[in-house]
Amino acid sequence: MRNALFLTALSRIATAVATLLVVAAVVFFLMRLIPGDPVLNWLGSNYDKADYDRLKAFYGLDLPVGQQFFVWVQRLFQGDLGSSVLTNLSVVEELLRRIPVTVELIVLALLVALPVGIGAGIWAAWRYGRPTDHALLTATLLGISLPEFFVGALLMLAFSLEWRLLPATGFSRFAWSWEHFSHLVLPALALGLPRAAVICRLMRGSLLEVFGRPFIRASLAKGLSRKATLFVHAVRNALIPVVTVIGLQIGYLVAGAVVVEKLFVIPGVGAYGLNAVFARDYPSVQGFILVVATIFLVANVIVDLLYVWLDPRIRIGPRTAAA
């Protein structure tokens, strides 16, 4: 068991690092293919040709693109992501300051998405075919169809403007206080609810599938109550496909965070990346992509390891075929 976990982890991490480098390279060249240029953005409309050339050389943007990439990778291995063309601030420092904010938002969104999604999924499956099931299915269809920025704007209009319960925007540094969390309730809901809808549908489907399996019948025949069967046997088995999807959902959460952070003005990684792309701030975009890809990969490695825990039959490595 332990050996399997270790092997799984090792192979996953190796793939993750390779993936990261490929992602970084693709984004590096793609960014330079999009029209636009950070120096022009910096100088504004009334620029002097000599200033333009000087700044371009200063940021190393006059070098051939291949060479620029080489320089970037070289610095990356020294832990240096360069500094923003826009603000001159160190990309590493800016990202380190913002990563905890985004991670907190994503964790809070997961705290919304997982209990709500899994809970509602179990409930719908339990009440299969009855009005509760239909109502939940309709609600989740809405949840899946509505994008985060729309849900966010609705929440803002209801909770901030109509009922004046929660602040619309604003942010305060981390603290165990209502002041801090009050600013994150709406963003976490906007980010988490659409994900909850997806998880709910999956959980419901997966449970219904498990209900038909022989071991459920066996357990009921043993005299175990329906409730006990559900929670002791069915849910754990039904969770396996759901966990896979939760890994993917974390990817959506990172993407959604870009929009939600912009809407609710949360100084996280997402808002930073979005601004950087609009300003063609190449070093910041590179740093942003690296962080997002890392969060995504780390989440997926965790999910892979969770499988092994949930279902010991799953192995990764040479013994997979046997299992």
Q: Given the rule CB under 8 A, which residues bind another protein?
A: 34-37, 40-52, 54-55, 86-89, 94, 97-98, 153, 156-157, 160-161, 164, 167-171, 262-268, 271-272, 275, 278-280
The CA distance from 256 to 262, in Å, is 10
Specify the residue, 106 or 246, whose C-beta has the smaller distance to another protein.
Answer: 106
Minimum gap (Å) between residue 298 Cβ and another protein: 23
DSSP state string for 121-163 = HHHHHHTTTSHHHHHHHHHHHHHHHS-HHHHHHHHIIIIIIIS
SS3 174: coil
The CA distance from 190 to 56, in Å, is 41
Minimum gap (Å) between residue 87 Cβ and another protein: 5
Cβ density class 44-61: b for 16+ within 10 Å, e for less: eeeeeeeeeeebbeebeb
Asked if residue 254 lies in contact with residue 274, where contact means CB atoms within 8 angstroms, the answer is: no
Specify the residue, 86 or 224, whose C-beta has the smaller distance to another protein.
Answer: 86
Minimum gap (Å) between residue 32 Cβ and another protein: 12
Minimum gap (Å) between residue 172 Cβ and another protein: 9
Specify the residue, 170 or 317, whose C-beta has the smaller distance to another protein.
Answer: 170
Contacts of 10 (CB under 8 A, 6+ apart): none
The residue count of the chain comes to 323
The CA distance from 268 to 265, in Å, is 9
Specify the residue, 164 or 227, whose C-beta has the smaller distance to another protein.
Answer: 164
Residue keyed to tokens 């959980």: 203
Minimum gap (Å) between residue 48 Cβ and another protein: 6
Specify the residue, 52 or 69, whose C-beta has the smaller distance to another protein.
Answer: 52
The CA distance from 280 to 276, in Å, is 6
Minimum gap (Å) between residue 169 Cβ and another protein: 5
Specify the residue, 32 or 213, whose C-beta has the smaller distance to another protein.
Answer: 32
